[in-house]
Amino acid sequence: MKRPYRAPPGRPSQTPSGAVVINGYSARWLNQDFCWVYPAEVVSRPPNLKPGQEVKLVDEQGKALGVGLWDEGWISVRRYRNDEGPVDAALIYARLDLAYALRQTIVETNTSAYRLVNAENDELPGLRVDLWGHYATITLDAPGVAPLIDWVCAWLDEHLSPRGVYLHWRPDPREKARFEPPIPAGLIRGHAPPGDVRVTERGLTCLVRPSLGKDVGLYTDMRANRALLEPYWGGRRVLNLFAHTGFFSVAAAANGASEVVSIDLSESALERAEANFVANELDPSAHLFFAEDVRAALDRLRRAGERFDLVILDPPAFSHGPEGVMSAGKDYPRLVAACLRVMEPGGWLVAALNQGEVSPRDFHNAVRDGARRAERPLQHLYDGGQAPDHPAAAHFPEGRYLKFGIWRCMDA
């Protein structure tokens, strides 16, 4: 039987008379199911629009192209439907129902941390919802998406009864300096946990902090890649670079790695990594943790003659250290070369890059360039991406942001 919905307060106010008229270029993209309208594509608009107002979209010939929510940032309209119906509780509930049904199918039963809604890729542009055991986080890209908050919270209350819900904002870097959230980030429903929240990924425990947004402590989009590696950790000496809170390190140690060396510039992140070892009844003293700039650490390890059977390279887009700012996109070949210089013959490079603007081809070229610099030939064994609870819509190429691969050193 179809479940009735309750319409919480906060429906987007209706558009003043008229509609947002877009140019032919934007119309062609919308007709291919793309869901963004950029400011330069707006031909005319009703006066006095405010972020979050519901607007109808039409082309210059007056053809209706759907309904969305207005914004004033680098995206003017996020389209939520391609017919002329309203953006209301019934629509949002239906989209959430579909997203939840998918996750019930694809997320492992021994996993309690996953992404419930992946924005445009689940037909809910600008909105991400993540579950962390008994807690949830809602992350919005822009003020224009704020009218969805109450509906999402009502749906969560009805289906999952989280103990607490946190709101986070994720403005585009082009808008970050002038971004003013209409609602403060933080706890918006329920109560805060008394300490770290224990969640599971494929039976392993991770301690997370939902209040910290992107620093929650676990990248769930890497779950499928960690699962792939489970049979291959045994007996290997592993180097985990940019280790963050060490969940790759935990997975390696739990699956039989002889030693795991975790390196990250942040001492607090490594303290959390050691806590994750303890939470999984693994002895952190049997492994090594270094709070150090990765570039300096790789040079130190090379000079000391250290060698590893498997090296994990997953840098943030930008990081700061004693050697200055590092751009993953620009510096990736140099990092790959440095990794290969501390790798045993036949060792594996596990490399990832979380930058949507870098194409898979450019990612592979960067690895190949690094191998050439290090004069160590590689075999490509595997290509991966984000876990299936982070789906990418076929009509939204921006959704395929995570590059991941495994290479083997061919030299004897």
Burial classification of residue 178, based on how many CB atoms lie within 10 Å of its CB (0-12 exposed, 13-18 middle, 19 or more buried): exposed
Q: Residue 412 pLDDT more than 70? A: no
Task: Quote the domain boundaries for residue 169.
Answer: 89-197
Look at residues 282, 288, 130 and name the one whose alpha carbon lies nearest to residue 209: 130
Question: In 315-364, at which residue ranges do the beta strands (DSSP E only) sit?
Answer: 318-321, 324-327, 343-354
Measured CA to CA, the distance from residue 23 to residue 130 in angstroms comes to 36
What confidence category does residue 319 fall into, taking pLDDT thresholds of 50, 70 and 90? Answer: low
Is there a single domain that holds both residue 24 and residue 73?
Answer: yes
Threshold 0.85, pTM exceeds: yes
Is there a single domain that holds both residue 175 and residue 308?
Answer: no
The answer for residues whose C-beta is within 8 angstroms of residue 276's C-beta and 6 or more apart is: 205, 206, 207, 245, 246, 247, 249, 250
Q: Would residue 405 count as lying in a domain?
A: yes
Is there a single domain that holds both residue 96 and residue 226?
Answer: no
Measured CA to CA, the distance from residue 194 to residue 280 in angstroms comes to 20
Tell me the three-class secondary structure of 181-213, residue by residue.
CCCCCEEEEECCCCCCEEEEECCEEEEECHHHH
Is there a single domain that holds both residue 74 and residue 101?
Answer: no
Q: Would residue 260 count as lying in a domain?
A: yes
Instruction: State the DSSP code for 2.
Output: P
> b vs e for 66-83, b when ≥16 Cβ sit within 10 Å of the residue's Cβ?
bbbbbbebebbbbbbebe
The answer for residues whose C-beta is within 8 angstroms of residue 65's C-beta and 6 or more apart is: 22, 27, 30, 31, 57, 58, 59, 79, 82
CATH of residue 25 = 2.30.130.10
Task: Measure CA 412 to chain center.
Answer: 37
**Token digits for 172?**
């585009």
Q: Residue 5 pLDDT more than 50? A: no
CATH of residue 160 = 3.30.750.80
Q: pLDDT digits over 158-204, tens only?
A: 999 999 999 999 998 887 777 889 999 999 999 999 999 999 999 99
Q: pLDDT digits over 212-264, tens only?
A: 998 999 999 999 999 999 999 999 999 999 999 999 999 999 999 999 999 99
Instruction: State the DSSP code for 13.
Output: P
Average pLDDT over residues 269-285: 98
Report the pLDDT value the prediction gives residue 1, as an integer from 0 to 100: 32
Q: Would residue 210 count as lying in a domain?
A: no
% of the chain with per-residue pLDDT over 70:
93
Is there a single domain that holds both residue 345 and residue 375?
Answer: yes
What confidence category does residue 14 fall into, taking pLDDT thresholds of 50, 70 and 90? Answer: low
Domain count, the chain: 3
Backbone angles phi, psi at 258, to 5 degrees: -70, -35
Is there a single domain that holds both residue 108 and residue 223?
Answer: no
Report the pLDDT value the prediction gives residue 324, as an integer from 0 to 100: 54
Report the pLDDT value the prediction gives residue 411, as an integer from 0 to 100: 85
Q: Residue 318 pLDDT more than 70? A: no
Q: Residue 327 pLDDT more than 90? A: no
Q: How many CB atoms lie within 10 A of CB 3?
A: 8
Measured CA to CA, the distance from residue 349 to residue 378 in angstroms comes to 9
> b vs e for 109-123, b when ≥16 Cβ sit within 10 Å of the residue's Cβ?
eebbbbbbbbbbbbb
Report the pLDDT value the prediction gives residue 281, as an integer from 0 to 100: 98
Q: Would residue 356 count as lying in a domain?
A: yes
What confidence category does residue 23 fall into, taking pLDDT thresholds of 50, 70 and 90? Answer: very high
Facing residues of 408 across strands? 348, 379
Q: Specify whether the CB–CB gap between 70 and 76 falls below 8 A.
A: yes
Q: Which of 81, 102, 119 is the last residue of a domain?
A: 81
Q: pLDDT digits over 351-372, tens only?
A: 999 988 888 999 999 999 999 9
Report the pLDDT value the prediction gives residue 9, as an integer from 0 to 100: 47
Q: Residue 346 pLDDT more than 90? A: yes
Backbone angles phi, psi at 324, to 5 degrees: 100, -170
Report the pLDDT value the prediction gives residue 217, as an integer from 0 to 100: 97
Average pLDDT over residues 281-285: 98
Is there a single domain that holds both residue 153 and residue 289?
Answer: no
Is there a single domain that holds both residue 282 and residue 404?
Answer: yes
Facing residues of 118 across strands? 128
Report the pLDDT value the prediction gives residue 321, as an integer from 0 to 100: 52
- Mean pLDDT across the chain, nearest whole number? 93
What confidence category does residue 4 fall into, taking pLDDT thresholds of 50, 70 and 90? Answer: very low
Q: Specify whether the CB–CB gap between 240 and 260 falls below 8 A.
A: yes
Is there a single domain that holds both residue 193 and residue 232?
Answer: no
In single-letter form, the type of residue at position 380 comes to H
